[in-house]
Structure 1
Amino acid sequence: MTLLAIDTASSAGSIALCRDEKLCGEILFNVHSTHSERLMVGVRQVLADTGTALESVDAFVVVHGPGSFTGLRVGMATAKGLAMATGRPLIGVSSLQTLAMNVAETEYPVCALLDARKKEVYAGLFRMRRMHPVPLASERVIAPADLVRQIKEPMLFVGEGAVVYRSLIEDHLGVQAHFAPWVLNSPRASLAALLALERLRLGETQTPLTLIPAYIRPSEAEITWALKHPGQGS
């Protein structure tokens, strides 16, 4: 089965093409241009470099959040457009689970962190089982200080949020805090594809109508609307 995976949840985006459990090609980019400028160019390049026709892709995988609202919208729109054009299914995967896959062989529980701005992080806690992340709690947006106060055991931190708040984490947890090497702090589309492969085999797919972003917190527009219309549903 051939999967084309897209990740635009953070500033470091990626596109990967996999056939079963073989990585055929992957592009990583962390540049000043927007994902909308790079994404379709990257998709065409991956397909060309791997000699793959778009119509031969069996399913499209997209990291659906949490993460940058703009980045997620670009990635979701692109993946949905490709799925609609080809009639192929979609599979959405968590950015935090994808990030945790970078440290799949660790003996410690994993705290995957993305910088959510506003002095908050998107956080996911996982235990690695057979090279896959098993959630220990619901993914959330939280102040880093509040998060680390809840941690009572050694923990491996991974992600850009761990880089931004490393000093705070070390101040609270001391030697219980472990950190992934810097090269592992970005989600990768190839690992999103690996997470999605089993779901595809089980027939657990979605369509452009059923797949929605996992923003976790409301957008600025929703917050502004709520402040202007107190007591009313959105």
Structure 2
Amino acid sequence: MRILALDSSGLVASVAVVEGNTRESQTIAEYTMNYKKTHSQTLLPMLDEVAKMTELDLKSIDAIAVAAGPGSFTGLRIGSATAKGLGLALDKPLIHIPTLEGMAYNLCGTADIVCPIMDARRRQVYTGIYTFEGDKLKVLEDQMAIGIEELGEKLQKYEGKNEGKIVFLGDGVPVFREDLTERILKDREIWFAPAQMNRQRAASVGSLALWYYEAGKVETAAEHQPDYLRVSQAERERKERLGHDSVSM
């Protein structure tokens, strides 16, 4: 089967085409950008370039996989709108991939505990805790928005499993690396993923989507909705203003 994969859930924009099944697959093309441009400027041109370079007829794809959150509210809306539009135009199903699972799949096959962290501001992260059984992803803690200290407490529960090693990746690493190594998890063995593995990649979203597809986890374009996990900053600020105004009255 052939899957078109999109990820614009964070600072990175990525498009890939993945072919095969869970036993044997390959990435036909991947275009990833981590640069100071908006996803509205980059995602569709990247998709167009991938299609041209691989002589891809979009009608030949079997499904569209999209990193569906959590992450950047604007990025998620752009990715979901693009996937929904393509799904409706091509009459193709969508595969809803949790962003953190897609990131964890960058490290497919590792024996360590995998913990992606995305900076969610206010000392919080979007995160999940995962491990692998061969090349199959196993969810230990489903994706969530929590404080970095609380994440440390959750990770302590897995001491001794998989030799106790934890690998972190994501844009939360540069924000919390010092806290994790020198305070929160100073007694644990920690590894940080190298540059080529530490951000969102559409090839990982597409490869994980093969497992979802074989399990029948697909949806229509009309059904698809992104997973924000929490309200936007603008909504939080609006509620804070309303609360302040009501107190003033």
Match of 2:177 in 1: 166
- For residue 177 of structure 1, the aligned residue among 190, 200, 220 is 190
Are the aligned partners of 1:15 and 1:190 in contact in 2 as well (CA < 8 Å)? yes
Tell me whether 1:114 sits opposite 2:118 in the alignment.
yes
TM-superposed deviation, 1:160: 1.7
TM-superposed deviation, 1:101: 1.1
Match of 2:247 in 1: none
State the one-letter code of the partner of 2:173: A
Counterpart of 1:106 in 2: which secondary structure? coil
TM-score by length of 2: 0.86
Are the aligned partners of 1:145 and 1:168 in contact in 2 as well (CA < 8 Å)? no
Counterpart of 2:68 in 1: which secondary structure? strand
Compare 172-181 and 42-51 and name the one that shifted more. 172-181
TM-superposed deviation, 1:224: 4.4
Tell me whether 1:4 sits opposite 2:4 in the alignment.
yes
* Identical counterparts, % of pairs: 34
Point out where structure 2 has 5 or more consecutive residues left out of the alignment. 245-249
TM-superposed deviation, 1:146: 2.4
TM-superposed deviation, 1:109: 1.2
**Aligned partners of 2:112, 2:213: CA distance in 1, in Å?**
29
* Segments of 4+ moved more than 4 angstroms: 224-227
- Cα–Cα, structure 1 residues 224 and 203, in superposed 2: closer, same or farther, change >3 Å? same
Match of 1:143 in 2: 147
Map 1:87-102 to 2 at 5 A.
87-102=91-106
Match of 1:46 in 2: 50
Are the aligned partners of 2:13 and 2:42 in contact in 1 as well (CA < 8 Å)? no
TM-superposed deviation, 1:9: 0.7
Task: After superposition, give the CA deviation of every residue in 1:10-45 in whole Å (9 maximum; x if it has no partner).
Answer: 111110012221211110101111000011111111
Match of 1:187 in 2: 200
State the one-letter code of the partner of 1:170: T
Map 1:1-234 to 2 at 5 A.
1-20=1-20, 21-152=25-156, 153=159, 154=164, 155-171=166-182, 172-174=184-186, 175-224=188-237, 226-227=239-240, 228=242
TM-superposed deviation, 1:221: 4.2
Point out where structure 1 has 5 or more consecutive residues left out of the alignment. none
Are the aligned partners of 1:98 and 1:195 in contact in 2 as well (CA < 8 Å)? yes
TM-score by length of 1: 0.92
**Aligned partners of 1:97, 1:134: CA distance in 2, in Å?**
9
TM-superposed deviation, 1:185: 0.7
**Aligned partners of 1:91, 1:142: CA distance in 2, in Å?**
26
Equivalent residues, number: 230
Compare 219-228 and 157-166 and name the one that shifted more. 219-228
Compare 69-78 and 48-57 and name the one that shifted more. 48-57
TM-superposed deviation, 1:176: 2.2
TM-superposed deviation, 1:111: 1.0
TM-superposed deviation, 1:115: 1.2
Are the aligned partners of 1:98 and 1:192 in contact in 2 as well (CA < 8 Å)? yes
Compare 214-223 and 14-23 and name the one that shifted more. 214-223
